[in-house]
């Protein structure tokens, strides 16, 4: 790395000051790029939504060597690498101090409360200059909305690290909204509840949890804990798979993950008081009835049943907002909505493997038909929820290699 590298002073726009956006900015500055880091809210906004949840990966997998070095140089002590942070401690102990150090460096323009609305090329439409090296010489154009209104900005390179948490999946059959779901005006909680604080009004309520991933298991864990303080809390857990949905990895090195999988499977077997499992169903209809919600659950075979609840918690995943790069030449996977090359490599490498074993598939899979445009971080995985920060940190190395080696920019 050196500030005298060939691409020094090229303008890089990074969308999203989450973990990967901030780490990318750090690395790009070290490479000599000029960086604008756009953040729709405040840095780390998505992690803040689950700040009460504990990471299942330890600190050592969640920090970059460059970030650690910068904080040590600034005289900060780092938490032991073996410890598992919460979202809150990740922000407080790492991301925020890192950003404070970075913000003081020349070359970075951090723009909080500034949302990128769309990306295109100056003087080139989506269909122009196909596979033509001249396309790379037309600067990117970003339509952004900040505290002073909307404007267009230019950049030579763009990295989209805007995550997926702003675009949750819907509850209904096949990913469609359930009938009545869109009219509920925020009555569906989409995420993992903080039963001690933010979502304390779940106590002694009837709660429907939907989904069969680790987020749903985390929610079930939180609600079971809530039941020890508020024993009238009743939980129905609806999910589309049959039987016990979690793989309990023999000798799992991540104790938190194993605990969650065991809890989810115990609920599925009907062994946890106050939590009733409804496997093999999806939400068909939600109808408000006074303060309550009447929910129709349907099986793939067409059988229906009803449940009346006070709250619904949707843990059915997220999808990327691909509208940001609709005007660019990005080849998307028809199954995951992630950029095609990475999606294909992820599809080829799955098959029951432990997601912790993943590594980056190398620079080549981060390339798009659009020169100089890259999707990194959790958004790069599209609808696939297996993304890990340790992979994102490798992606940053890979993309810097691509930028450095590129003949186009």
Ligand X SMILES: Cc1cc2nc3c(=O)[nH]c(=O)nc-3n(C[C@H](O)[C@H](O)[C@H](O)COP(=O)(O)OP(=O)(O)OC[C@H]3O[C@@H](n4cnc5c(N)ncnc54)[C@H](O)[C@@H]3O)c2cc1C
Positions touching ligand X (CB under 6 A) are 15-21, 38-41, 44-47, 50, 53, 55-57, 62, 115-116, 161-163, 165-166, 192, 215, 377-378, 387-389, 392
Q: Min. distance of Cβ 394 from ligand X in angstroms?
A: 12
User: Which one, 222 or 281, has the nearer CB to ligand X?
Assistant: 222
Tell me whether residue 50 or residue 281 sits nearer to ligand X (CB atom): 50
- Which is nearer to ligand X, 80 or 273 (by Cβ)? 80
Strand partners, 293: 288, 309
CB of 250 to ligand X, least distance (A): 20
CB of 42 to ligand X, least distance (A): 8
Enumerate residues 6+ apart whose C-beta is below 8 A from 49.
Answer: 165, 191
Measure CA 338 to chain center.
12
Q: How far is the CB of 304 from ligand X (least distance, A)?
A: 31
Which is it for strands 292-299 and 304-309: parallel, antiparallel or unpaired?
antiparallel
Of 95 and 178, which has the nearer Cβ to ligand X?
95
If the CB atoms of residues 15 and 157 are measured against ligand X, the closer one turns out to be: 15
Pick the closer one to ligand X by CB: 88 or 310.
88
Exposure class string for 122-150: b at 16+ Cβ within 10 A, else e: eebeeeebeeeeebbbbbbbbbbebeeee
Q: Which two tokens stand for residue 63?
A: 């920090």
Please report how close the Cβ of residue 218 comes to ligand X at its closest, in angstroms: 7
Nearest distance from C-beta of residue 225 to ligand X, angstroms: 16
Minimum CB separation from ligand X for residue 132, in Å? 28
- Rounded to the nearest angstrom, the gap between the alpha carbon of residue 405 and the centroid of all alpha carbons in its chain is 29
- Report in angstroms how near the CB of residue 298 gets to ligand X at its nearest: 28
CA distance 47 to 76: 22
Integer distance in angstroms from the first to the last C-alpha of the chain? 18
Would you say 107 and 78 are in contact if contact means Cβ atoms under 8 Å apart? no
Q: Using DSSP, state whether 389 is helix, strand or coil.
A: helix
What's the Cα-to-Cα distance from 14 to each of 27, 183, 262, 344, rounded to whole Å? 12, 34, 39, 24
Nearer CB in complex with ligand X: 298/343: 343
94-100 contact pairs (CB < 8 A, 24+)? 94/59, 94/62, 94/63, 94/67, 95/19, 95/22, 95/43, 95/44, 95/47, 96/43, 96/44, 97/71, 98/22, 98/26, 98/67, 98/70, 98/71, 99/17, 99/22, 99/43
328 Cβ contact list (under 8 Å, min separation 6): 119, 120, 121, 126, 368, 370, 373
Q: Which is nearer to ligand X, 167 or 287 (CB)?
A: 167
Q: Give least dist CB 180 to ligand X, A.
A: 26
Which of residues 115 and 227 has its CB atom nearest to ligand X in the complex?
Answer: 115
């Amino acid at each position: 790395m050196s500030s005298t590298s060939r691409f020094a002073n090229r303008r890089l726009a990074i969308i999203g000051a989450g973990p990967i956006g901030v780490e990318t900015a750090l690395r790009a500055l070290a490479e000599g790029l000029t960086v604008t880091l756009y953040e729709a809210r405040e840095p780390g906004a998505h992690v803040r939504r689950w700040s009460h949840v504990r990471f299942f990966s330890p600190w050592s997998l969640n920090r970059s060597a460059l970030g650690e070095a910068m904080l040590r140089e600034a005289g900060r002590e780092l938490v032991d690498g073996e410890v598992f942070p919460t979202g809150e401690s990740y922000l407080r102990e790492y991301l925020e101090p890192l950003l404070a150090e970075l913000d003081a460096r020349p070359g970075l323009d951090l723009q909080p409360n500034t949302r990128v609305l769309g990306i295109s090329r100056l003087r080139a439409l989506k269909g122009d200059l196909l596979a033509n090296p001249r396309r790379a010489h037309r600067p990117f154009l970003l339509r952004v909305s900040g505290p002073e209104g909307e404007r267009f900005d230019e950049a030579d390179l763009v990295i989209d690290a805007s995550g997926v948490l702003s675009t949750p999946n819907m509850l209904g059959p096949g990913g469609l909204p359930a009938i009545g779901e869109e009219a509920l005006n925020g009555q569906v909680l989409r995420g993992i509840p903080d039963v001690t604080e933010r979502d304390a009004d779940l106590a002694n309520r009837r709660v429907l949890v939907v989904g069969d991933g680790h987020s749903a298991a985390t929610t079930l864990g939180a609600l079971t804990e809530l039941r020890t303080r508020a024993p009238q809390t009743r939980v129905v857990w609806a999910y589309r798979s049959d039987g016990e949905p979690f793989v309990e990895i023999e000798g799992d090195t991540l104790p938190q993950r194993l605990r969650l999988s065991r809890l989810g499977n115990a609920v599925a077997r009907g062994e946890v008081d106050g939590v009733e499992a409804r496997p093999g169903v999806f939400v068909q209809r939600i109808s408000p009835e006074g303060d309550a919600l009447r929910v129709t659950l349907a099986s793939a075979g067409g059988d229906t049943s009803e449940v009346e609840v006070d709250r619904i918690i949707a843990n059915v995943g997220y999808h990327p907002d691909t509208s940001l790069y609709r005007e660019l030449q990005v080849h998307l996977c028809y199954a995951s909505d992630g950029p095609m090359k990475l999606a294909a490599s992820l599809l080829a490498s799955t098959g029951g493997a432990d997601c912790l074993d993943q590594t980056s598939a190398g620079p080549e899979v981060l390339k798009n038909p659009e020169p100089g445009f890259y999707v990194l971080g959790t958004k790069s995985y599209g609808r696939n929820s297996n993304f890990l920060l340790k992979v994102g940190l490798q992606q940053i190395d890979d993309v810097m290699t691509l930028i450095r080696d590129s003949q186009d920019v």
